[in-house]
Chains A and B, each alone.
Chain A
Amino acid sequence: MAKVEYRKCTEHSVFFWGLLGLHILVIAAGLGAALYMEHYGHIVTGMSNQIVWGTPHVFAVFLIVAASGALNVASFSSVFLRLAYKPYARLSGLLAIALLAGGLAVLVLDLGRPDRLTVAMTTYNFKSIFAWNIYLYTGFMGIVAAYLFVMMDRQLQRSSLPTRVMGGIAFFWRFALTTGTGSIFGFLIARDAYSAAVMAPLFIAASFVYGLAFTVLVLLMMSREVRRSLIDDDMLGKFRGLFILFSLAVLYLTALHHLTKLYAAEYRSVEAFLLRDGGIYTAVFWLGHIGAGNLLPLGILLIWGSGRHAWHAVATAAILFLIGGVAHMYVTIIGGQAFPLRLFPGMEVTSSFQDGAVAGYWPSIPEILLGVSGISIAMLITGFGLKLLPFLPRLAGGSPLQST
């Protein structure tokens, strides 16, 4: 096997710096939005007593799920000993930390009292999956940092054991993390759209897709930046195969989730709402999550994924998978809240507190800015990480960059 050398990204293209500058602007806008929301209260957002979690949570959960999936490439090489993926393991670890940091930042800034973060970090109710998540998320960052250290240290690299051990721990931890994230919703008995054990494996399958999409897009962007291909055709074919596999898994588990709920008479009304009568939620589910987010990129990969257009196909598919991911989170989080709680099953209920009524929600500008700034935080950390640390692989005898 060719020895892999790693290097920092020492190129300084205007485009790259421009992109980092754009991320800084978006982050500044997001922080300003968070300050605005904290100062005036959540009345300035679209959230209400019915839709309590809005757009920031959509992006935050999306980024956290993607973060655990981004570690997959490293896990393939360390845990499953697929050495073809080894050159990308360091980048994969960095991306995992960056995406998680972005998601957590958005989550914390959307709290009603973000000044009480120290309370959240010192006072725990361990029956709450949220409390476990605090340790799972921060622990993940520490473990991946240790994993990166093990991968980079020359002494430790003399034997393959430290990498396998750390890789194994990170793999197990990342599964626990995604299970915990899915269980935030899966454990809730109150909402008809949630309360399902399948939500945890569904989130794990989704994490594979989003994490790989981010990894591929970052690799393609950096290939452009260093003017040398970081992925050869063989690797591209592997990524394509993984995308197809993971996307099919997401479709399968989504279908399982909804079909099971449709079968039970008590959940038929919420399923009819999400799948047929929900207006924007139905549209986002079918066109966003299923259509543009899974079927369309699957088609692109199957038809154009090998051959002349493979690069374009994979890049386009990755972007579509990410859009589908945001749509998936939107339908899950917001659509699930929009459907009213069933206080008196079978009865038509009205009240001054919007009982029995489908809740309306429009994302507000501060929410969107805050949510999107999470992606920018992740990308900024990745960009600086790649510049400062030797994470980019240089394959011996690497192929030249395909002209776009």
Chain B
Amino acid sequence: MTEGCSGANGSCQCKTGDRREDAAMQSRRNFLLRTAALATILAPGVTLYAFGGEAAAANPTPPVSSKVRWGLLIDASKCEESCTACVEACSSAYGWKSTGHPGTDPQWIRKVSAKDPKSGAGFSVPVMCQHCANPPCVDVCPTGASFKRADGIVLVDRHICIGCRYCMMACPYKARSFVHEPVTDQKPDAPRGKGTVESCTLCAHRIDAGGVPHCVEACKKAGREAILFGDLNDPSSEIAKRVATYRTARIREDLGCDTGVYYTNI
């Protein structure tokens, strides 16, 4: 009826409507304030949960940038035909190996020997994914699993790879392998499994941590230093300086893929 009314004889001298309105507005205001306070208290917690809990404060590395373009420079004159240090290092680091079926065994990197049939002159170099700037494998992948990272590394996102092998048809360098058998005992930083396509990752997790790929390290350990790794976009890097100074060639440069792997003395 007439709450909040304190008139003497029950009649109200105040403007009852206003009073009631005031009271209602007051209670509304209280309610809103209370809710806002509660929300303010809860919000950080909710936000914290939404964005990953209290450990979200850990230091993640920033996303890779296209200011950098990683590449390799391979000197064929330092590379000996019988040496396979790079291949063995990659193989043992990532767990791909020969199972006795050369046709289906994966090979992320292999030594290729080429010989001129007329003169007999030849060379031997390691060939791996060339990390093209215009990768045909990325163009043809239906799900986008084959992709180029901002810093130039071409990778397979094996979570969305459906195993159609179109990228293997498209690659001019035969860089990609298909996993034909179930895989067990994977290395923790090298997941790989049956039914997806894989290739050289330029040891992305190592270079993200500031290191060099396994093949480069192994070649250095073997005393040859035939493979050089670095940032092609940085004019002060060793690789950029050498590419600018010496005559280098890239495999099937005529195809226009703009590969990131350079070769000298081939």
Residues of chain A touching chain B, judged by Cβ–Cβ distance below 8 Å, are 38, 40-43, 47-50, 52-53, 111-114, 116-117, 119-120, 123-125, 127-131, 133-134, 184, 187-191, 337, 341-355, 359-360
Q: How many Å lie between the Cα of A40 and that of B101 in the bound state?
A: 15
B166 proximal to A (CB < 8 A): yes
Whether A124 and B143, one on each chain, are in contact in the complex, defined by CB atoms closer than 8 angstroms, is yes
B170 proximal to A (CB < 8 A): yes
Q: How many Å lie between the Cα of A350 and that of B111 in the bound state?
A: 9
In the complex, besides A124-B144, A134-B142, 5 extra interface pairs with C-beta distance below 8 angstroms are: A47-B180, A49-B103, A52-B178, A112-B162, A120-B164
B168 proximal to A (CB < 8 A): yes
Whether B196 and A353, one on each chain, are in contact in the complex, defined by CB atoms closer than 8 angstroms, is no
Whether B172 and A190, one on each chain, are in contact in the complex, defined by CB atoms closer than 8 angstroms, is yes
Of all chain A residues, the one with the shortest Cβ separation from B84 is A352
Whether B110 and A351, one on each chain, are in contact in the complex, defined by CB atoms closer than 8 angstroms, is yes
Q: How many Å lie between the Cα of A187 and that of B115 in the bound state?
A: 30
Whether A112 and B170, one on each chain, are in contact in the complex, defined by CB atoms closer than 8 angstroms, is no
Q: How many Å lie between the Cα of A38 and that of B104 in the bound state?
A: 16
Smallest Cβ distance from B162 to chain A, in angstroms? 5
20 A-B Cβ contacts within 8 A?
A41-B179, A43-B101, A49-B103, A52-B169, A111-B164, A112-B178, A112-B196, A114-B163, A117-B162, A119-B160, A123-B144, A127-B140, A191-B169, A343-B172, A345-B252, A348-B114, A350-B112, A352-B102, A352-B107, A353-B107
Smallest Cβ distance from B161 to chain A, in angstroms? 7
B181 proximal to A (CB < 8 A): yes
B174 proximal to A (CB < 8 A): yes
A contact residues around B196 at 8 Å (CB): 112-113
A contact residues around B141 at 8 Å (CB): 125, 128, 130
Smallest Cβ distance from A243 to chain B, in angstroms? 32
Smallest Cβ distance from A191 to chain B, in angstroms? 7
Contacting residue for A41 out of B107, B110, B194, CB 8 A: B194
A contact residues around B143 at 8 Å (CB): 119-120, 123-125, 131
B contact residues around A187 at 8 Å (CB): 140
Q: How many Å lie between the Cα of A135 and that of B168 in the bound state?
A: 22
Residues of chain B touching chain A, judged by Cβ–Cβ distance below 8 Å, are 87, 101-107, 110-117, 122, 127, 136, 138-144, 160-166, 168-174, 176-182, 194-197, 251-252, 255, 266
Of all chain B residues, the one with the shortest Cβ separation from A346 is B116
Of all chain A residues, the one with the shortest Cβ separation from B103 is A48
Closest 6 pairs between A and B when the two form their complex, measured CB to CB: A112-B163, A112-B195, A48-B103, A130-B142, A125-B144, A190-B172
Given A128-B140, A189-B172, A343-B173, A48 and B162 contact (CB-CB distance below 8 Å):
no
Q: How many Å lie between the Cα of A53 and that of B140 in the bound state?
A: 15
B contact residues around A50 at 8 Å (CB): 103
Whether B112 and A343, one on each chain, are in contact in the complex, defined by CB atoms closer than 8 angstroms, is yes
Given A49-B104, A49-B177, A113 and B112 contact (CB-CB distance below 8 Å):
no
Smallest Cβ distance from A121 to chain B, in angstroms? 10
Smallest Cβ distance from A111 to chain B, in angstroms? 5
Smallest Cβ distance from B261 to chain A, in angstroms? 12
Given A48-B103, A344-B251, A353-B110, A190 and B194 contact (CB-CB distance below 8 Å):
no
Smallest Cβ distance from A267 to chain B, in angstroms? 13
Whether B169 and A112, one on each chain, are in contact in the complex, defined by CB atoms closer than 8 angstroms, is no
A contact residues around B178 at 8 Å (CB): 42, 49, 52, 112
Of all chain B residues, the one with the shortest Cβ separation from A191 is B169
Q: How many Å lie between the Cα of A29 and that of B266 in the bound state?
A: 52
Contacting residue for A351 out of B127, B169, B255, CB 8 A: B127
Whether B139 and A128, one on each chain, are in contact in the complex, defined by CB atoms closer than 8 angstroms, is yes
Whether A188 and B170, one on each chain, are in contact in the complex, defined by CB atoms closer than 8 angstroms, is yes
Smallest Cβ distance from A265 to chain B, in angstroms? 13
Q: How many Å lie between the Cα of A41 and that of B195 in the bound state?
A: 7
Q: How many Å lie between the Cα of A186 and that of B107 in the bound state?
A: 27
Whether B122 and A49, one on each chain, are in contact in the complex, defined by CB atoms closer than 8 angstroms, is no
A contact residues around B163 at 8 Å (CB): 111-114, 116
Q: How many Å lie between the Cα of A130 and that of B136 in the bound state?
A: 13
B contact residues around A134 at 8 Å (CB): 142
Whether A352 and B168, one on each chain, are in contact in the complex, defined by CB atoms closer than 8 angstroms, is no
Whether B111 and A131, one on each chain, are in contact in the complex, defined by CB atoms closer than 8 angstroms, is no
Whether A348 and B170, one on each chain, are in contact in the complex, defined by CB atoms closer than 8 angstroms, is no
Whether A350 and B113, one on each chain, are in contact in the complex, defined by CB atoms closer than 8 angstroms, is yes
Whether A120 and B127, one on each chain, are in contact in the complex, defined by CB atoms closer than 8 angstroms, is no
Contacting residue for B142 out of A53, A112, A125, A350, CB 8 A: A125
Q: How many Å lie between the Cα of A351 and that of B180 in the bound state?
A: 20
A contact residues around B252 at 8 Å (CB): 342-343, 345
Smallest Cβ distance from B80 to chain A, in angstroms? 15
A contact residues around B144 at 8 Å (CB): 123-125
Contacting residue for B127 out of A49, A189, A343, CB 8 A: A343
A contact residues around B122 at 8 Å (CB): 347
B contact residues around A337 at 8 Å (CB): 169
Whether A348 and B117, one on each chain, are in contact in the complex, defined by CB atoms closer than 8 angstroms, is yes
A contact residues around B127 at 8 Å (CB): 343, 351, 355
Of all chain B residues, the one with the shortest Cβ separation from A48 is B103
Whether A116 and B114, one on each chain, are in contact in the complex, defined by CB atoms closer than 8 angstroms, is no
- Counting chain B CB atoms within 10 Å of each CB, the highest count among A38, A130, A344, A345 belongs to A344
Q: How many Å lie between the Cα of A169 and that of B95 in the bound state?
A: 52
- Counting chain B CB atoms within 10 Å of each CB, the highest count among A134, A353, A359 belongs to A353
Whether B173 and A341, one on each chain, are in contact in the complex, defined by CB atoms closer than 8 angstroms, is yes
Contacting residue for A349 out of B114, B139, B194, CB 8 A: B114
Q: How many Å lie between the Cα of A374 and that of B233 in the bound state?
A: 51
Contacting residue for B165 out of A52, A125, A349, CB 8 A: A52
Of all chain A residues, the one with the shortest Cβ separation from B195 is A112
Given A189-B172, A347-B115, A112 and B110 contact (CB-CB distance below 8 Å):
no
Of all chain B residues, the one with the shortest Cβ separation from A42 is B180
B contact residues around A354 at 8 Å (CB): 102-103
A contact residues around B114 at 8 Å (CB): 343-344, 347-349
Q: How many Å lie between the Cα of A344 and that of B110 in the bound state?
A: 15
A contact residues around B174 at 8 Å (CB): 49, 341, 343, 353, 355
Q: How many Å lie between the Cα of A268 and that of B117 in the bound state?
A: 17
B contact residues around A342 at 8 Å (CB): 252
Of all chain A residues, the one with the shortest Cβ separation from B107 is A353
Q: How many Å lie between the Cα of A132 and that of B168 in the bound state?
A: 19
